[in-house]
Each structure stands twice: as structure tokens, then as C-alpha cells.
């Protein structure tokens, strides 16, 4: 199995629930095809370098995963037909230096996910107490 990173940009007009649903849809496609998802990095709303489909901004998400090569064709086919995704890019890591960098990126994303989770729990707990 190869190491892959897929970055996709979602339209900025969607709500948080719709963005979460789009991310879940992409991860579901990967899992259905037999990929092992290592980390998801939701980078949030960012300005695009140039307007894409009349959008100046987009919600960036990166998914790090292990999969066989045939999974990429199915993933990109689904991303191409998804009207909410305005751009996508998949990168394959093959060389030893690239794999070391890939592992660092996965570790950083995993840490970022763990750091965000307690904040959400703290907000929920403090809201219930108030």
C-alpha cells in the first residue's frame, strides 16, 4: 500500500454541518475502497490564490491515507462530480525522504486533532454548567 495525501477545497458558502458531511463523504469513499485513513487536517477557510468558479475563498481539508493505486481513480472521479468541491489534488509519497515527511505531517495532524477535541469538550461542559 502506498502513502497518499489528498487536499480538496470545498465551497465557502456551506454551513459547518454541510462541510462536515462533505468530509465524511470523502472519507467514506476511501474506506469503502479499502484505504486506511491516518489523519484528517481541516485547515478551515482560506483565501484562494485566484478565483475558482467565482469563489475567492474555500475550506481546505487534507486527508492522509494508505491505499492501493486503484483507489485514487475512484476518489478523484467522485471529487470531480461533487459540485461542492471546487479543487482537489492527490500526492503520492514514494521515496524514503518523502515518507519521513509524510509521517511527520500525519503526526502533526493527529496532534492538531487531539488538541482541538478537548477545546470542543470544554466549551460544551462550560455551556452546560452556565
The secondary structure of 43-88 as a DSSP string is: EEEEEEEEEETTEEEEEEEEEEEEE-THHHHHHHHHHHH-TTEEEE
DSSP one-letter code for 1? -
The domain in which residue 112 lies consists of 2-129
* Structure confidence by residue, pLDDT tens digits, 19-42: 999 999 999 999 999 999 999 999
Residue 64 belongs to domain with CATH number: 3.30.70.60
Hey, what's the cell of 1? Answer: 500500500
What total number of domains does the chain contain? 1
CA 7 to chain centre: 6
Q: How far is the C-alpha of 80 from the C-alpha of 47, rounded, in Å?
A: 21
> What pTM value is reported for the model?
0.80
What is the structure's pLDDT at 103? 86
Amino acid at each position: 500500500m502506498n502513502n497518499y495525501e489528498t487536499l480538496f477545497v470545498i465551497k465557502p458558502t456551506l454551513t459547518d454541518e454541510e462541510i462536515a458531511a462533505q468530509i465524511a463523504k470523502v472519507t467514506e469513499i476511501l474506506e469503502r475502497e479499502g484505504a486506511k485513513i491516518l489523519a484528517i487536517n481541516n485547515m478551515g477557510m482560506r483565501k484562494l490564490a485566484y478565483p475558482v468558479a467565482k469563489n475567492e475563498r474555500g475550506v481546505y481539508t487534507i486527508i492522509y491515507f494508505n491505499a492501493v493505486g486503484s483507489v485514487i481513480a475512484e476518489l478523484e472521479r467522485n471529487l470531480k462530480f461533487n459540485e461542492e468541491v471546487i479543487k482537489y489534488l492527490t500526492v503520492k509519497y514514494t521515496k524514503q525522504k518523502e515518507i519521513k515527511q509524510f509521517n511527520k505531517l500525519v503526526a502533526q495532524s493527529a496532534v492538531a486533532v487531539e488538541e482541538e477535541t478537548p477545546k470542543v469538550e470544554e466549551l460544551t461542559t462550560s455551556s452546560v454548567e452556565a
